[in-house]
Structure 1
């Protein structure tokens, strides 16, 4: 079981004896303490997600405690600052509390009074940070609902996995067929995590000639090789602080795999033609269609790199395995394409919808988006069952749709009833009744094929 992180306290005082005494007491009391002599150093060290309390003397050379309060309030009005004051500074400290300070302690203060104030401040800060985390999570859930469309169990699980992984500092491997949305998932992992305000850099490993790959990934200095005019920043360095998305990672040349592995292990790189190492902080999200361990066993991929990239794995289901998402996706892409050209989205016939549901979509979501664009622009061939257009009463439309779904499933499974039952999740009796009502005979679909 992981232990809870130690509460963080920053103590700022220009008097070394006071600073050290407070540091020792708080460390013995179980706090993680950072002791500083200048307020300026505190501002430089604090991150946006600092989950602790700041103790600061009021009177100090350079930036004093009141100026520090003003700077902290500009960053985060709910960041607790406890001021340490001399006797003559009490009225000023009271005014500072009205301006946003959490508390003040008059010197000399007792250790018990300090601990009591600190614990109250830490409890308050903890509630603030938890509330922010929940608000951010709700915001990210809404975003994922819009970016990763679908109501199928697989898509609901994927959104939850992305939400859980987005904030973790681990590399992620995204597996899925061509067109299944791997880059969109990678972008969501980036946008819903703490690196969202840093670069998201995408590189398709299959699109770069092997001779240029090292320069593209690591950059180069001027004159590093013939034609290297001027310094070039590589994708890894450009993504510093953010995310590098490596699509079709299985196409990465073996020589570059070794160099990428070293970058991941050491968090440094060297440009071509340079001797100086550059420290980088990059999260890598890689995408692949085949299993990288299978590629490693075949000698086409380094096993150690596969494990480094696959700290966490997301598997994307092909569209044919989540057919219930097709209507929503098709409508979304149709509306998007129609808006782009200033048109009203055209109606979708029940016959055409049945064709969409029965198609296997080897190109996955990308192929569906292309079909929706053609539909929005009126470029597709008329549906074979145009008579079943979406008109008339709701009951009639439901009957037409049900009939087409049954036809599509029977055609897809060559009249095999057990397969149709599993596909449509219907018991045998219900399927028989529906087929009889719609005049559908199993033998007709066996003959068709």
Structure 2
């Protein structure tokens, strides 16, 4: 979280008082005494906000405001004056000041303005990061959001799958975006200039398969829910793969195909042919740190599509998102973001507020998040995580089983 505040005031006593007020509020002040000193710290990627006196020897607060706007028009600057000059306040706001405060300023008033400025700055920098990610030439970086180790691992796996000239199996829980990931694999592959043809394998006949393969010539055929493909069509698909048709096959499933093989519902040869290169999509519950980033992206996307200004995403909103398990994964989060952007409802996946949950469920969510954090800190080494939490190994594994957590997902 951004907590840096650049304090600019030529009066040393005032500087120290302002810095102390900010420090007591767990902020990170950097106090300087002039425009020249402040200038060295101002940059377009400055992860903080500015609080400056207006009346200073040499170049004053208005000069500082103009300079800041020339470097980054979206960097919040709050100006202070001891004169209570209304025309000066109007001038400051007209020149793009984020806020205007009269000295002496009550700490509560000061902190309220600074907190709003910090939230605004955080949103601006996050939006810039997302925009840069979208504009990169790497489809995996551009289209797979998140900063967690699991998100980076997914991007790496997609890149590898894209370049590997084999069939690909994309797996994940419902709502994780299997179709989207399959298309990104296609975009990372030598077949990227060819067509990307999507087809549901459920109930797919041989004629349907032939038509889909013909449409995907020179490109990629994505067959979703591959485990539901009829047995005779599975055999036909295997024959086509053996003939090395000029079509790259990507299959998707939310089911356990190994179990389907054991039950005789999945052709074992086809399964092993598809399972050479597997791309597993982690669920949101496995990478909760990515939820705020994904939500902001979806809100910005929905707002742009609707021609609306994105609403403020407050810490309370983020806290509400993080308190949920999101069994519907990215699809549910996207729907929640759309409702939020349009002002149509809560951000929760359902109508349940976190504060309305029973004590046992709230405690369970806290315990689950602590287990995930412990595994993430040690890269999935279960024994070490159990030791750090001061839990017997059996107790630790029992808790992992209760919450469906697997250490290997955090490596």
> What's the TM-score, normalizing by structure 2?
0.53
Per the TM alignment, residue 200 of structure 1 is displaced from its structure 2 partner at its CA by 0.8
Unaligned stretches of 5+ residues in structure 1: 1-138, 219-233, 268-279, 384-403, 432-449
Aligned to 1:293: 258
What residue in structure 2 maps to residue 320 of structure 1? 285
Q: Which residue of 1 aligns with 2:208?
A: 216
Match of 2:182 among 178, 182, 186: 186
Partner of 1:309: 274
Asked whether the 8 Å contact 1:320–1:360 carries over to 2, the reply is yes
Q: Secondary structure at the match of 2:222?
A: strand
Give the superposed CA RMSD. 3.1
Structure 1 residues 346, 140: closer, same or farther in 2, change over 3 A? closer
Q: Do the aligned residues in 1 keep the contact of 2:321 with 2:347 (CA within 8 Å)?
A: no
- 1:246 is aligned to 2:238: no
Task: Provide the C-alpha distance between the structure 2 equivalents of 1:419 and 1:334, rounded to a whole number of angstroms.
Answer: 27
Residue 24 (structure 2) aligns with:
none
| CA shift for structure 1 position 407 | 12
Q: Which position in structure 2 is the counterpart of 1:148?
A: 144
Superposed displacement of residue 417, structure 1: 7.4
Greater Rg by CA: 1
Q: Partner residue of 2:371? A: 422
Query: C-alpha deviations, 1:277-314, integer Å up to 9, x for none?
Result: xxx31110001112212101011111011011111111
Shift of 1:189: 1.1
- The correspondence for 1:358, drawn from 300, 323, 339, is 323
Is the 8 Å Cα contact of residues 174 and 316 (structure 1) preserved in structure 2?
Answer: yes
Return the match for 1:379 from 341, 344, 358.
344
3-state SS in 2 of match to 1:414: helix
Cα 1:151–1:406 shift into 2, 3 Å: farther
1:223-242 per-position Cα deviation (integer Å, ceiling 9, x unaligned):
xxxxxxxxxxx011111111
> Which 5+ residue runs of structure 2 have no aligned equivalent?
1-134, 378-384, 390-411
Aligned pair in 2 of structure 1 residues 256, 417: CA closer, same or farther (>3 Å)?
closer
1:204 aligns with 2:196: no
**Distance of 1:367 and 1:292 partners within structure 2:** 25
Q: Taking structure 1 as reference, are residues 254 and 140 closer, same or farther at Cα in structure 2, changes over 3 Å only?
A: farther
Which residue in the other structure is 2:158 paired with? 162
Kindly state the Cα deviation for residue 421 of structure 1 after the two structures are TM-superposed. Answer: 3.5
Label 1:193 to 1:295 Cα distance change in 2 as closer, same or farther (>3 A).
same
Q: 1:382 to 1:298 in 2, by over 3 A?
A: closer
Match of 1:339 among 291, 294, 304: 304
